[in-house]
A and B are shown apart, each in its own frame.
Chain A
Amino acid sequence: MDYFQKIFKESLVVVMISSIMGLFTGTFLSFNNQILYSFPVILLILPSLNSLIGNIATVLISRLSSHLYIGNLSPKIQRSPVLKNDFYGLLITILLSLVALIIIGYAVGLATGIQIINPLLIITVIMLAILILFGSIFIFLFTSSIFLFRKGKDPNNYLIPLTTSLLDFLTPLLLIVLIYLFI
């Protein structure tokens, strides 16, 4: 049962912390419900937005982890073609997905009769928030994966739970901060 023990030991604390963060996300959203109700389309696409950036982070972590285990990526903080490919591949994906998300979100909004206020502002805020998050999370995940791998830990067990919960909290936070800045 070595594998069981390794997974359990490495995951328990970080999963506990991230679940508590998830609970505080709910509380944070309820405290800022007024801004969300002023721009209802944000409420509609928020779960998808959280999933989008969370998915990209998860793909990145699992790719980095596999690269490190296979030996495609040396456990050093330095530029490499593998890393460059991952960065540009995921950046193109996130941009295309954002366009799709905005189109689908607005189409569903129109179909369900949800009010769409100041669409240009909302699109700018969404794009800006996701790109800021992507840039910062890429650097954080790359350095953390190297650090954890060097310590003999599996980056999947630590970084996926931590990052998804962190992003579930940071995405609405950044959106709300940017809306406050622009209006």
Chain B
Amino acid sequence: MDWQDTKWKITKEVFPSEIISIIGDILAGIILTILILPFKSFLILILIVPALLSMRGNISGPYIARTSRDIIIGEFNKESWFENVLATYALSIIIGFIIGLFGVILNYIFVRLFIITFGILILIPVLTMLLSLSISIPISTTLNIIVFKRGLDPNNVVNTVMTAVDDFFTILCFYFTIIMLGVP
């Protein structure tokens, strides 16, 4: 693949995805306020929300970038994809646990609202991340393949579009997780 974009090609490919991302994130912000705000434990939950949202850049982002690169350099196959997915899930479990643990510590130091057990507070980010990755991984992989087949650069398009998808589903999965775990 002859891969050298002009500045206008970059703008043409990135800008529409940015618009989708902006709209998605504004919607995500509104949904977050409507769904999470009424919870009694809102002050504790809001401590872990920024960290959960940043997981899009920390775990999902590199997964998408690795997939894009593998496709571009012709090294995308079942084995490499499986190992990429496995590493992404393994990282998300460990990081989810760390977010939960720090959530417990920050709650103990700053918020001091003890209406959720430590175990539940650790489970919330782990389950949220596993659920949202299970939606995000198939979508981003398919999108990467489609975009590349259409002659566009996946680096320019997929990550930006997936920001909106990831943020939206992270919040939705976060909401489902706290409902499932019976968080007050």
Contact = CB atoms under 8 A, between A and B. Distances in A.
Which has the most chain A C-beta neighbours within 10 Å: B4, B7, B18, B95? B18
Interface of chain B, main secondary structure? helix
A19 B95 contact: yes
Interface in A5-53: 7-8, 11-12, 15-16, 18-23, 25-27, 29-30, 44-48, 51-52
Contact of A66 (B9, B69, B88, B110): B69
Nearest to B156: A59
Contacts, number: 227
Interface stretch (B52-60, B116-124, B134-142, B175-183): B52-60
A85 B68 CA distance: 20
Interface string B1-29: 00111111111001101110111011011
Interface residues of A, number: 68
Task: Bin chain B's interface residue count.
Answer: 35 or more
A160 B68 CA distance: 14
Contact of B14 (A16, A93, A168): A93
Given A3-B80, A48-B25, A100-B19, 16 more contacts: A7-B91, A18-B54, A19-B102, A26-B46, A26-B51, A45-B26, A47-B25, A54-B163, A55-B14, A58-B160, A59-B156, A85-B4, A85-B5, A104-B23, A104-B26, A164-B57
Interface of A: 1-4, 7-8, 11-12, 15-16, 18-23, 25-27, 29-30, 44-48, 51-52, 54-56, 58-59, 61-63, 65-67, 69-70, 72, 82, 84-86, 88-90, 92-93, 96-97, 100-101, 104-105, 108, 112, 154, 156-157, 160-161, 163-165, 168
Interface of B: 3-11, 14-15, 17-19, 21-23, 25-26, 28-30, 46-59, 61-62, 64-66, 68-69, 72-73, 79-80, 83-84, 86-88, 90-91, 94-95, 98-99, 102-103, 106, 110, 153, 155-156, 159-160, 163-164, 167
17 contacts: A3-B80, A7-B83, A18-B57, A19-B102, A23-B51, A27-B106, A46-B29, A51-B167, A59-B14, A59-B159, A63-B155, A72-B4, A89-B8, A89-B11, A93-B10, A97-B22, A160-B65
